[in-house]
Amino acid sequence: MHRRFIQKRFQSSSTKNLIPIRTSLKGAALLQQPVLNKGSAFTREEREVFQVDGHIPYDVHSLEKQMVRAYAQFKKQPSNILKHAFLASLRDQNQVLFYALVSQRLKEMLPVLYTPTVGEAVGQYSELFRRPIGCFLSLPTAHSMKEQLQSHANAAFRYKYPPGMKNTDHDRPFDIIVVTDSEGILGIGDQGVGGISISTSKAALYVAGAGVDPNRILPVVLDVGTDNHALFANPLYMGYKHVRTRGVAYDHFVHQFMMNVKELFPGALVHFEDFGLNNAARLLETYKPVLPCFNDDIEGTGAVALAATMSAIGVTKSKLSDQRIVVYGAGTAGMGIANQIRDAMVELEGISVEEANSKFWCIDRDGLLLKSNSKLQGSQHDYARDDEECRDWNREIQEQPNLRLIDVVKAVKPTMLVGCSTNARAFNEEVIRTMAEHTERPIIFPMSNPTSLVEVDPVDANEWTDGRALIATGSPFPPAKNPITGNDYYIAEANNALIYPGLGLGTIASRSSKMSKGMILAGVRALASVSPALDDPDAPLLPDLADVRKVSLHVAAAVVKQALEEGVANVNLKKDDEAIIEHIKVGMWDPVYRPLEFEPEDEN
């Protein structure tokens, strides 16, 4: 299914666009509510009924005109961190205008709203703080956690549907909970309470990228202390000033949170974000059978990398199991990518898990993962190689005790090289040229963020492979010139925003009891199916981020269909593509101003 078909078929039209919003608020109180505030876009009738005249200038402006003004203000900000702060302020003032602007210019604003700028915003959270957004659950107040969560549900905005209009909302207050414990923030580590900015940014991408109702997403930070000594020394730090809680006390706190979510928001999807290496996979494995949950660092990163891989093998006309894959950086993201590709080999090509594991050579800071290594954790055990297999490999420096990247590349002759190390320029000219000697179309994925830590600049990878490389990166890069033809090669950005909003939308639209591996794989295949490279081998491996809303609807439809096939969906729906798409679209949220209707406050 190519991009033109997506544009024609998946135009979003939500029932919620037609719903009048009923409220008893008037005047200044109305203007202070970002869900209701229209600023200069209030109609003449609304200004009179809601006593807004005198609080705003006279002229009535359309949303489009407001977006022109807001974009000009955005462009005038002198740095990305100030642009990030501007967008946060706009969201606090006018929800519709914020999402209309971001949705229109998502590709441009994504690096400001999320990586890499959000890392800076997280680090300066206590200095930049203006207004709390999200739910702050701290260990010292765990005794009232249930009441704290319930208060957010009570305060959340809800549409009041007029008689005769179909209610597309569910009985649960929230559809998605985006939660972090802030230990593994974007390669900058433990950031304490500032991690809430990660949760709010991810939540915003669910809205802009997939049309999830912003009023049905709850960003959460679990503040269990911090081991970041700079935060302790900061007198403005707003979080729990205590060493990071671990072990039984930590597990009890997380379990308390998960059980409260299950009770208060039954069926809501829990999105884990930036948990530490020792907890991310463990918590996902623990709670997958209990309620719908998803770890973006493990499953999201792996999913978008798998989609790019499937696009690449579509170009090379090969199979997943034909690949020899070197993963440089065997942490949460690297193992997540390996696991997703491995599981796809097993599911789609019918090979055994053991055979699929043998297609990978994974490298961490100590070198190639070997079975003799006593430091192996979690999934690393699956990919550790026999020491005997590697004993005779020539080391460039004989006294080097561990097998390094260049040693592995020379011995393995990989067809695919994945970087998740944050080790800048680790894929040097020798590594890339050595790889390119043995494969016609080298698949090279330097996935590390930010761009300053990427393993290889795509321009160099393109040059050193004579323009033959199939490249996807974790950060945005400009096109690279093909050194042979002189044509521009547009670099695919393997951004999680291409996959996780659609996975989430599909899960909540199906009211699924879980987000299964099959549902994720269905979403991956849907994303890979709209790769521009399938029409043009020199085009990007993944769709443009500017098309993410249409892509997310396509992904979500595949997820819903798979949930129906597996029997985990809780909706009465035919397994028909058009019926599924219409079902999803009915519940999607669009950033448009709804008409306001005055409703006197209930005196009872």
Q: Are 197 and 81 in contact (CB under 8 A)?
A: no
Please confirm, yes or no, whether 83 is among the known catalytic residues. no
Residues 353 and 490 in one domain: yes
Instruction: For residues 487 and 502, state if they share a domain.
Output: no
- Domain-terminating residue out of 291, 319, 351: 291
- pLDDT over 70, % of the chain: 93
Residue 225 has pLDDT above 60, yes or no: yes
pLDDT value of residue 603: 55
Examine the pLDDT at 1 and tell me if it is beyond 80: no
For position 191, which CATH number holds?
3.40.50.10380
Query: For 565-577, what is the mean pLDDT?
Result: 94
259 and 230 part of one domain: yes
Residue 203 lies in a domain: yes
| pLDDT given at position 450 | 77
| Stretch 189-214: mean pLDDT | 97
| Better-scored residue on pLDDT, 48 or 168 | 48
329 and 434 both lie in a single domain: yes
pLDDT for the residue numbered 4 = 36
Domains held by the chain: number:
4
Choosing from 123, 154, 187, the residue where a domain stops is 123
Q: Is residue 565 part of a domain?
A: yes
Q: Are 81 and 117 in contact (CB under 8 A)?
A: yes
> What is residue 434's three-state secondary structure?
helix
Residue ranges in 129-184 assigned as alpha helix (H): 145-155
Q: What is the C-alpha separation between 2 and 338, in angstroms, rounded?
A: 27
Domain assignment present for residue 31? The answer is no
Q: Report pLDDT for 403.
A: 79
Predicted pLDDT of residue 17: 60
Dist. CA 585–CA 485, nearest whole Å: 43
Q: How would you classify the pairing of strands 135-138 and 470-473? A: unpaired
Neighbours of 495 (CB within 10 A): 27
Q: Map tokens 């090979």 to a residue.
A: 351
Does the pLDDT value for residue 2 go beyond 60? no
Q: Using DSSP, state whether 364 is helix, strand or coil.
A: strand
CA dist 265 and 482 (Å) reads: 52
Residue 242 and residue 193 in one domain: yes
Identify whether 28 is part of a domain.
Answer: no
Annotated binding site for (S)-malate: 449, 495
Nearest CA to 347 out of 464, 519, 488 is that of 519
Same domain, 350 and 468: yes
Residue 182 lies in a domain: yes
C-alpha–C-alpha distance, residues 543 and 528, integer Å: 9
Q: Give pLDDT, residue 10.
A: 40
Does a structural domain hold residue 154?
yes
Tokens representing 245? 């809680």
Q: Coil, strand, or helix at residue 208?
A: helix
Per the domain annotation, does 15 fall within a domain?
no
| Whole-number Cα distances in Å, 529 to 296, 444, 468, 502 | 21, 20, 22, 14
Given the residues 16, 83, 114, 359, the one annotated as active site: 114
Q: pLDDT (tens digit, 9 = 90+) per residue, 499-550?
A: 999 999 999 999 999 999 999 999 999 999 999 999 997 899 999 999 999 9
**Pair of tokens at residue 358:** 């043998």
CB count in 10 Å sphere of residue 186: 22
Average predicted confidence (pLDDT) for the chain: 92
Q: Are residues 367 and 475 in the same domain?
A: yes
Among this protein's residues, is 114 annotated catalytic? yes
364 and 512 share one domain: no
Q: pLDDT tens, 13-29? A: 555 566 788 899 999 99
358 and 488 share one domain: yes
The more confidently predicted of residues 357 and 599 is 357
The residue whose two tokens read 């020199």 is 538
The yes-or-no verdict on residue 6 having pLDDT over 50 is no
Look at residues 265, 139, 119 and name the one whose alpha carbon lies nearest to residue 201: 119
Quick check: 153 and 265 in contact, CB under 8 A? Answer: yes
Identify whether residues 52 and 102 lie together within a single domain: yes
**CA nearest 101: which of 66, 62, 56?**
66
| Domain coverage including residue 195 | 133-291
Instruction: Quick: pLDDT tens for 244-284.
Output: 999 999 999 999 999 999 999 999 999 999 999 889 999 99
Q: Model-level pTM?
A: 0.92
Residue 448 falls within a domain, yes or no? yes
Would you state the pLDDT for residue 374?
87
Q: Which residue has the higher pLDDT, 449 or 326?
A: 326
pLDDT at 398 over 70: no
Tens digit of pLDDT for each residue in 375-394? 898 899 999 999 888 887 86
User: How do residues 126-158 score in pLDDT, each as one tens digit?
Assistant: 999 999 999 999 999 999 999 999 999 998 877
In terms of average pLDDT, the best of 477-486, 495-504, 570-579 is 495-504
Q: Which residues are documented as binding site for a divalent metal cation?
A: 273-274, 297
Residue 167: its pLDDT value, please? 55
- Looking at the structure, do residues 335 and 364 belong to the same domain, yes or no? yes
Q: Of 198-202, 271-275, 482-486, 564-568, which range is least confident?
A: 482-486
pLDDT of residue 572 exceeding 80: yes
Residue 504 vs residues 177, 182, 454: alpha-carbon distances, Å: 10, 21, 28
Q: Are residues 436 and 564 in the same domain?
A: no
pLDDT digits (tens, 9 = 90+) for 292-350: 999 999 999 999 999 999 999 999 999 999 999 999 999 888 999 999 999 999 999 99
Single out the catalytic residue among 16, 38, 83, 202.
Answer: 202
Q: Which residues lie closer than 8 Å to 94 by C-beta, 6 or more apart?
A: 34, 37, 38, 39, 66
**pLDDT band (50, 70, 90) for residue 170:** low
